[in-house]
Amino acid sequence: MNTMTRTRFDVVPLTKHIGAEIRGLDLRDKPDDETIRAIYQAWLDHLVIVFPGQSLSQEDLIRVTGYFGELGELHRPAKYFPKGYSSLLPGIMMISNIRENGEPIGALPDGEMMFHHDMIHKEMPHNGTLLYSLEIPTHGGDTLFASGYAAYDTLDSETKKAIEGKRALPVLDRASSASTANENRVAAASPTGKPRTCPVSTSSRNSHAGGNASARRMSARSAAYV
């Protein structure tokens, strides 16, 4: 569907701190700029938005992702691409636990990705990720989200003062597992004691694009130290 449409949709909050469902919107349609701005604002207001009942092509997925900003690149080296990636458009990642002839067709087949912020090890981490489910299990497999803003707001003044100005060192080491102790990651990453990929020292304080609230941006899975 390529026609330009102006669509009214409803934003239904899911929890007090995070999440809202967008109802009455077919993402296969091409909305006008006013509607796109309203979708973007809903994202800023609720941090996670859900579009139920969609049926999207890969082209739709790329286009809709562009409503939220410039598309990020996949930084996974090509040698790590599962075979299912050969059917994907650039910029799309497949996550699946399906195996064919003993080999996974997608990334993260064993649920090994723990709580994290996408691309936190980069100088400019991704603002968000658009997930499109092709198959949903009847139970388990939950993807959970948490509000860093709400977490920061609950801290007492002494704790806020103690972490003010601190910087975290995110490390991406594809050879380590999620169970690797944080304090060992830097030392074990290479004979020189330095990570295999160049880390970026980032402020643990973060303000969401377009927002004014403060949060802490740090992933326990990848932070070597603070």
Is the pLDDT at 142 greater than 80? The verdict is: no
pLDDT of 111: 67
Distance between CA atoms of residues 154 and 174, nearest Å: 34
Structure tokens at 38: 């309203």
Work out whether the CA dihedral 95, 96, 101, 103 comes out positive or negative: positive
Within 8 A by CB and 6+ apart from 80, the residues are 174
Grade residue 166 by pLDDT with cuts at 50, 70 and 90.
Answer: confident
Q: Say which residue, 116 or 221, is predicted with more confidence.
A: 116
pLDDT of 32: 92
Is the pLDDT at 53 greater than 90? The verdict is: yes
Phi, psi (deg, nearest 5) at residue 46: -120, -5
Average of pLDDT values for 19-31?
94
CB atoms under 10 Å from CB of 22, counted, come to 20
List, for residues 62-118, the tens digit of each pLDDT value: 999 999 998 887 777 777 788 778 888 888 888 888 888 888 888 776 766 666 777
Is the pLDDT at 136 greater than 90? The verdict is: no
In order, the DSSP letters of 159-215 are HHHHHTT-EEEE---TTS-TTS-HHHHHHHHSTTSS-SS----EESEE--TT----E
pLDDT of 187: 44
CB atoms under 10 Å from CB of 61, counted, come to 19
Is the pLDDT at 130 greater than 50? The verdict is: yes
Q: pLDDT averaged over the chain?
A: 76
Is the pLDDT at 5 greater than 80? The verdict is: no
Report domain extents, the chain. Answer: 1-55, 117-137+146-226
Phi, psi (deg, nearest 5) at residue 32: -75, 175
pLDDT of 113: 67
pLDDT of 202: 41
pLDDT of 94: 85
Q: Say which residue, 196 or 51, is predicted with more confidence.
A: 51
Structure tokens at 188: 């074990």
Is the pLDDT at 206 greater than 70? The verdict is: no
pLDDT of 183: 44
